[in-house]
Each structure stands twice: as C-alpha cells, then as structure tokens.
Amino acid sequence: MRRGIWGKVISFLAIVLFITINPITGHAGEGINSDDPPTTGFEDRDGDGWTTLDEEAKFLEKVSELSDRVTYEQIGNSGEGWPIYMAKVGYPEVPSDEEIADGRNVLIMGTPHGNEPAGREMTLKTLRNLAFSDDQETIDMLSKSTILFVPTPNPDGRQSNTRGNASGIDNNRDHLKLETPEIQVIAEMMNTFKPDITVDAHERPRDYGDPDVEMLWPRNLNVDEKLRDLNIEMVEDYLFPDVEEAGFTTGEYGTPPGSGSGSERILRNMGGLRHGLSLLIETPGKAEPNSRVDMHMATIESVLNFYQERYTDVVDVVTEAPKHKEKAGANQETFYLDGTHGWDEADWVALDPAPSGYLLDNEQAKDIDRHIRLFSLETENFEDNGGVYLSMEQPMMTVIPLLIDEGAPNHQIEGLALYDSTNPGSAENMKKQVEHFENQGDFDSDQAARTLKEHLTAIDRFEKQDDADKVAKHLTSLGKLLDHQYSDELLTETAFDNLRAYTDYLLEKWEVSI
C-alpha cells in the first residue's frame, strides 16, 4: 500500500487525543506558535453536537492566529445574511490571491446541503492538520499548492438543519444558472482560482451505510476525456483502496436514471466543466457522527495523497483540458445537451455538428450578464445594436450551449445558434447559415435555398452601403419568403425557426438605425 503525505502523519483517529495531550510545534518551529491547536465544537462535545456557525468563525480565527500558514476571510453572505468563509493554507505563508490564481490549488467544500454536516467537520479538522503538520511531504505540497476551504457554503441550511437554503432552494442544483447568493459566491471563487481538484462533501441522510463511503466523478458528457480518465483513476485506484484500508466500505454513487447523472447543475459535474478534477463524497447520515466524520477524513487524506503523488499528471491534464475544449469548439465537434457518461446512450441528446457560436440580442445579453462574468465567457459585441456573439472557440464553451441553446434542458435564454463565425449578425453570415441547412438536407429543393441566398446577396450589398431603409425593406421581404416556404413545406421546422429568428434579429438591428 502506498504511503503518502498522511500515511506519515499520525492516524486521523488519534489526532484529537494527540493534540489535547501533546502541543504540535510545526516544522522546525517555523510559523507556528507553541499554543495548543484549537479544537472544534464537535470535538469538544465528543461528537454530541455539531460545530456551530459561531464556533466555526472562532475556530478559523484561532487557527489563523496560531499558524502563519493560514488566512481566512468572509467571501460573501447567504440569503439570510450569514457569513460564508473561505480559509487558505500555504507554506511558509499563504500566497496572494493573484499568485494562487496563477498557481496551483485544491478546493475542499463542506456541507452544501445544510442537513449533511459531517463534511463540514472534515474541512475544519483537515485545515488544522495542514496548519500544524511538521511532515515534510505535507510542507512540500503546501509549498507548491494552496489548499482552499469553504466549510459552510450553505449557512442558512446549516443553521436550520435543512437541505436547501433559506428560500428552500437546493444550492447543488444551481451551478449553471447561478441564481442563489450562495452559489454566486462559490462560482466567483472557482472562476478566480480554477482549482485543480474540487471536493464536494455530502451525506445520505436516510442511510446507515453499506457502503459507508460512496464517491463519484464528473459524468457530464462535455468534460474533457483525459481529465475524466484521471478523475476515475483517482477514485478507483487510490481513494477506494485507501478508504477501505482505513476500515470503511466503498462504492460508486448513483444509479440510472436517478442520482449520479451528468447534470450540469451539480458541482461534481460543473467542476469538470470548469476543467478541474472533481469529487463527490457521500457518507451515511444515520451512522454514528464521529464515524461519519472519520469516513470523510479518510477520503480527503487519500485525495491529498493522490494529489501529491500524481501532481505532475494533474497539472498537465487540467492545463490541457481548456485547450482541448477550445479546439473542439473551433472544429464544431459534437456537443451534448443531455445524457450521462457511462449510462444508456439512447438518452444522449447531441448537437452534431455543434454551432460555431450563438448570437444574442440586447436583452438576452443582459439576462446572462452574471454568467458571462462568473464563467469568464469571451464575447464579441456589436456597436450598432449592442448584440453579443459568443463563439464556441473558447475554453468555457463547455457551458455555452447548456446556458443558451433552446434544446438544453436547463437553458437560461434561447440564443440564435450560428454555424459560421464569419461576420456574425450580418446578411453575409446568414447566407452561410442557409448553406449550412442546405448541406444538412433541411431544404426540399436546391431552388428554395438558392432563392434565399439570392435575397441575402442583395441585402449584403445594401448593408455594405449602410442603406438602412433598403436593408429593412428587403429583410421584411425575406421574412415573408421564409413564411411562404415553410407553409409550402420547402424547409424543415428547425431551419425555418432558426432563419426566421435570424431575419427578425437583423431587422431589429437595422430598424434601430433608421
């Protein structure tokens, strides 16, 4: 069995007893005071009562006072106004935010569902262990990577011991639309730091075990395949055997067609779509509290062992993944609007070829302003009417159709799918759109497509002359022609809907200019 960072440190089952009896003094005395490391409220009560939000804040404050390796800050508020904290651990001290963003980091997040508290206790204990460990491999890891902790991303739910936030919303179904204040905070943090690995700590409130610890990787079909392969290897070849050696049974989370899907709304999948390894941990919520925390501790210790041992491979795959997806977007490779990796392919819904990008009008662009910012989407703006073009040739193409394609189950708006990026939002580009549908067999005859292209050639000429009156007049005529062709069944509904929407977009653009 491998012995990594944590294999050389005292067993997590004895940590509490050890720190109570023997103050930890840190590696060569650097950055550590001689005071005893603090304990959590959960530890103080020997598992008979979870750490409170107030105790969490005091714990973070105390750890940061005693260890130069730790800082913490409030990164936002819940809907009810409770603070959301993020702690950072590095060596010999925590780098600046800019250095963390430009370097390497891991995110460990506890209790996104308020009635699943064991993972939160794990974040606090792991934070302390890293802050005061004098193990050289731990120090080496902290020297090259910052470990980020968000112990309580759903303080409303934790305060009331409910799954959702104060509005009753399941925060772990909001990682695409970003509607809740809590998940907007998490999205901001993930967009800034781009973690190499994201750990999402959950529990199964109605379960006693069998297995004890269930885990899962990103199953969204648009996750980079090399990244997913390494993610699966982490779980199957590292985490499962390590956790079993610690005395707990393990299993893969979820069964078709229920939990464990590829839904883009879930952090496990969004972590992969953001080009990092991502892990869901699920422990049995009816097991004894200390055991539940121990299960999480055994799992996170293995994650950090894996990160240390496979550091180069992790960095390589998360660095290359966004480049691979940008290239896939440029090549209009297949994009999946629905479906789950490893499940029935009959349920997959694909765009093949995928659009080259999407055209949005003023209001649509405004509607996804927060998504453009929190996913770092690259946009091309049009001065004439404020429209926006989102090309698929960019790293975060992984979320663009999911947000704005009318066929995506959780889309925010319905953008206009384009199949050529040449001068989008113009008659020239719309002519290429007609050619796309012609090549796809969406026209009943060559003549129907040719007639539309002839109209668009004339409109293109008037656009280049900046003759808004004639452009608008001919676009109105084009719209009537499309209506006539559709009523005569000369083109498919798919082609008609797209081309009619494009005509209306251009007409609005040029009528504003009149």
> What average pLDDT does the segment 150-165 reach?
97
Does 269 score more than 70 pLDDT? yes
- In three-state secondary structure terms, 251 is strand
Residues 106-121, mean pLDDT to the nearest whole number:
97
Please tell me the distance from the alpha carbon of residue 252 to that of residue 217, in angstroms, as a whole number.
Answer: 9
pLDDT at position 267 over 90: yes
pLDDT of residue 256: 85
Banded model confidence at residue 224, pLDDT cuts 50, 70, 90: very high
**Residue 29: pLDDT band with limits 50, 70, 90:** very low
Which helix (H) or strand (E) is 110 found in, with range?
strand 105-110
Q: Both ends of the chain: CA-CA distance in Å?
A: 75
Rounded average pLDDT over 203-227: 97
With pLDDT > 90 as the criterion, what percentage of the chain qualifies?
89
Tokens 């079909």 sit at which residue?
A: 221
This prediction has a pTM of 0.93
Is residue 340 left, alpha or beta, with left meaning phi > 0 and alpha meaning psi from -120 to 50? beta
Q: Is the pLDDT of residue 444 over 50?
A: yes
pLDDT at res. 466: 93
**Residue 387 or 349, more confident:** 349
Three-state SS for 147?
A: strand
**Cα-to-chain-centroid distance, residue 343:** 21
Please state whether beta strands 250-252 and 213-216 pair in parallel, antiparallel, or not at all (unpaired).
parallel
Residue closest to 434 by CA, chosen among 395, 386, 492, 370: 492
Which among 475, 501, 325, 511 is positioned nearest to 418, based on CA atoms?
A: 501
Closest CA to 27 of 140, 121, 122, 113: 140
Q: Do residues 266 and 199 make contact, with C-beta atoms less than 8 angstroms apart?
A: no
State the DSSP code for 176. Answer: T
Name the region of 29 (left: φ>0; alpha: ψ -120 to 50; beta: rest).
left
The confidence score (pLDDT) of residue 384 equals 59
Nearest to 192 by CA among 295, 310, 103: 103
Tokens at 37, concatenated: 């490391």
Task: Show the tokens assigned to 153.
Answer: 């991303």
- How many residues does the structure list for the chain? 514
